[in-house]
Structure 1
Amino acid sequence: MIAGCAVLAIAAAPAGAAVVPDRAMAALAARLFPLLSAWPQSGREGPVATMLTARRQRIAACAGQAPCVLQAARWTDEERDTIAQAASRSGSHAAPDDGAPAGVMREIGGINAVIGVYGQGAPARYPKIDGPDPQQIAANAAAAVSMAEAGRDDPTTALDPSIGLALALLDANDRDEAIAFEPLDARFNAAAMARAKTLDWAHYRYTAIIVPGIGPEDPATPLSALGKLNVRMAAKLWREGRAPFILFSGGTVHPRGTRHAEAIEMAHALAERFGVPENAILVEPYARHTTTNLRNATRRLAALGAPLDRPALISTNPDQSRYIEGVVFAQRNQHELGYQPGRVGARLSPTELEFQPSALSLRVDPMDPLDP
């Protein structure tokens, strides 16, 4: 936990001073907290206004003391319920399938989790690859409090100081993985996106061949042996005409601190070694676990315009394939995501499984701030 440490107060900006929006923080806010960061002015009245004023006063009373600010910025259950109840009347166009109140509840939970992990030393969900440097928690948390105060007028954090504080804590720890490849489809998937607009999906049994990543365990190796195996198997299936696209999923995961994104490395190998054209390749370079491999693959299929009522094909090595088919994986999905990202269907071979995507995968999950 953080020891008491004072933070230099940020001088008040002179009247009429220009607001300088932070584009990186705006992008991160849109990814992690889409409902809260775009909360309309019409939703800041009545009980919500009273609650938000009390929160600002509670945080201001800390006079810049980092441990106090961090605790004061956490949302209580009563505060969370107040704003969630107002969410249904906010008129947001970004509401998830289970409604704006449920989405706001997840976003508030994400803010509290980021403050707890990156500011107060709570354990990360996946401590081997996530979370802050234990030796830098106090210093980075103090810096984050000052960073949040300096950016308090940023429009994306205007609703409540906790939004800016959560973003600043991630920024202070260089944990911006959630936006590292944005704009994803324009940068990496443009050719496939263009081809999909004129594609006759009925010509193919499967919408895509989904290939999850298998990371190496040393930072100098860009693609593991099993990753190379997965690439070769996918190339063969594509050449057989099983699906119009190969969709690689896997982020910068193993080992901790690696700069190699599994999906990007597999896509490079597919193009260079097997000559698969760019317009047949999709990358999803954010997933950090097998659960989110399938969730994020579904998101890319939806962005592609693929019919989600048709199956995709999962192709991976036998061990991972058995795991995806098993009860433990289904239980992990339910525990970590709160739903199944799709239905695992028929087994076609030791390395091939049918997969029926679920639109539930489109829900934002700020409880995993590196891949929401």
Structure 2
Amino acid sequence: MKKHLLFLVIFIAYITSYAQEYSSPEVYNTLSQKNFYLLNAIQNDNVIKEILIKDDILSEIFKDQKDAISKVLKEDSKNLDSLISPYIFSTKSAKKITENLYRIFQDSKKFRNFINADIRNSGAYILYNDLEDQEFIQKIWNLNAEGINHILNTYGKGKLPQYASIDSVSYDVTSDYYKGAVKMWSKHIYSETKEKQTWFSPSLNLALSLLYLNHRDEAARYEPLEKLENKKTVENIKNIDFEAFPYASILILGNGPENYRDRLSALGKLNIKLGVKEYLDGKAPIIVVSGGHAHPFRAEYCEAIEMKKELITEYHIPEDHIIIEPHARHTTTNLRNTARLYIQYNIPMSKAHLVVTNNGHSQYVSSNNFLDRCVKELGYLPAKIKSRINNTAVEFVPLKTSLQQNPLEPLDP
């Protein structure tokens, strides 16, 4: 009887703990991992999380923020700026956090191993890997803080993002409805905030909630790809002799429709036909189709999904020779996201690949303007652009720098 009672107590404790840890929608974890690898890794490592929670200075920062949030919520106001501001990381607080993270790094072997092994080796911050420890910590924390601030400003306060026509907040931020909704979400998040948490928990939670309530969870959709849409091809890759083909893959770029009726645009369908021609000519063993829910605003259909359907139903391409990349919103991330899948699926990176699209778009991909845009928007080149073998196909070699996360574009980081 005592054994059964002890088991029941342990079981109830486990269930309670599980419920507290996973009370948020599952999509939060995926969004967090893809946008904020550092913070997500901390949250999922109980030893590291405990080290950081116990730190006096970080605890003080957390307590001050919690008090500021409480003060705002007690006011009878629906002003979005005042509701969101306590969650924003100021330049001063971000600097203080960096200094303390580096101090903990110096003092704690466990945290030092966490940074040097887990974080550096993840690839999420590959552009910073050659930096000394202090600057590396500063860069990765600042990037995460800036990413959170960007979401809070864009999907909380309604600040226009770079590509406002497709990436903006979903609601009228001047409406009483939205202001009231944000206040209620903030109250709910505050009510779930524990006495002791990581210093970033409230801000990260609100940022993820804003993406969720705005239906801007595009970055998490269709994951995990390797177990869902891409499963058959991932299983088939080990059977492919890539040396038997001139190219490792054919990447077909999307061309989003401009209305809510069409699943594929006229040029999108042309791109598919052009890519199939290269495939049937034996250029590569795999077709990659790339395009997300980008056009029009909050598009219902995912372009890569629709392109895959077209390949199978209209051209009879075997499903286990098709990879979808359903998140890209621009040509820059068509190549970047595809490179990430090549790395994940062990598709040759040193071998050339083909990117296929209509004549005008193909000319752009092979131009210096496209390379300049990659550097400006991504901070690096996701691929080496080589020869344009015809009017609609360009050779490229993917680069590992594509692993770098970009939470400043949270719909496709």
TM-score normalised by the chain length of structure 1: 0.88
Quote the offset at 1:134 in angstroms. 4.8
SS in 2 for 1:314: strand
- Which 10-residue stretch deviates more, 79-88 or 252-261? 79-88
Question: What corresponds to 1:247 in structure 2?
Answer: 288
- Which 10-residue stretch deviates more, 148-157 or 297-306? 148-157
Quote the offset at 1:21 in angstroms. 2.6
Deviations 1:274-310 (A, max 9, x none): 1110111000011011111111111111111112222
Question: What corresponds to 1:103 in structure 2?
Answer: 140
Question: What corresponds to 2:39 in structure 1?
Answer: 36
Q: 1:174 to 1:314 in 2, by over 3 A?
A: same
The structure with the larger Rg is 2
Quote the offset at 1:154 in angstroms. 12
Q: Distance in 2 between matches of 1:255 and 1:37?
A: 31
Tell me, yes or no, if structure 1 residue 327 matches structure 2 residue 368.
yes
Quote the offset at 1:142 in angstroms. 2.2
Mapping 1:267-286, distance limit 5 Å: 267-286=308-327
**Pick from 30, 33, 58: which aligns with 1:27?**
30
Q: 1:55 to 1:252 in 2, by over 3 A?
A: same
Amino acid at match of 2:228: R
- Which 10-residue stretch deviates more, 138-147 or 348-357? 138-147
Quote the offset at 1:24 in angstroms. 2.4
Alignment check: 8 A CA contact 2:59 2:198 kept: no
Q: Unaligned stretches of 5+ in structure 1? A: 1-15
Q: Distance in 2 between matches of 1:140 and 1:327?
A: 45
Question: What corresponds to 2:45 in structure 1?
Answer: none
Quote the offset at 1:237 in angstroms. 1.1
Quote the offset at 1:68 in angstroms. 2.6
Alignment check: 8 A CA contact 1:215 1:255 kept: yes
Deviations 1:129-163 (A, max 9, x none): 11113524524432431342344359998743100
Quote the offset at 1:203 in angstroms. 2.1
The alignment's C-alpha RMSD in Å is 2.4
Q: 1:154 to 1:275 in 2, by over 3 A?
A: farther
**Pick from 153, 159, 162: which aligns with 1:122?**
159
Q: Unaligned stretches of 5+ in structure 2? A: 1-15, 43-47, 106-110, 130-135
Alignment check: 8 A CA contact 2:62 2:197 kept: no
Mapping 1:301-316, distance limit 5 Å: 301-316=342-357
Q: Distance in 2 between matches of 1:56 and 1:147?
A: 13
* Number of aligned positions between the proteins: 357
Amino acid at match of 2:65: R
Alignment check: 8 A CA contact 2:302 2:326 kept: yes
Mapping 1:4-23, distance limit 5 Å: 19=20, 20-22=22-24, 23=26
Question: What corresponds to 2:6 in structure 1?
Answer: none
What percentage of residue pairs aligned between the two structures are identical? 30
SS in 1 for 2:292: coil
SS in 2 for 1:145: helix
SS in 2 for 1:320: helix
Alignment check: 8 A CA contact 1:147 1:168 kept: no
Question: What corresponds to 2:279 in structure 1?
Answer: 238
Question: What corresponds to 1:5 in structure 2?
Answer: none
**Pick from 27, 44, 48: which aligns with 2:58?**
48
Question: What corresponds to 2:150 in structure 1?
Answer: 113
**Pick from 35, 46, 61: which aligns with 2:71?**
61
Deviations 1:207-265 (A, max 9, x none): 21111110111111011111111111111211222111100110011111321111111
Q: Distance in 2 between matches of 1:202 and 1:182?
A: 30
Alignment check: 8 A CA contact 1:206 1:313 kept: yes
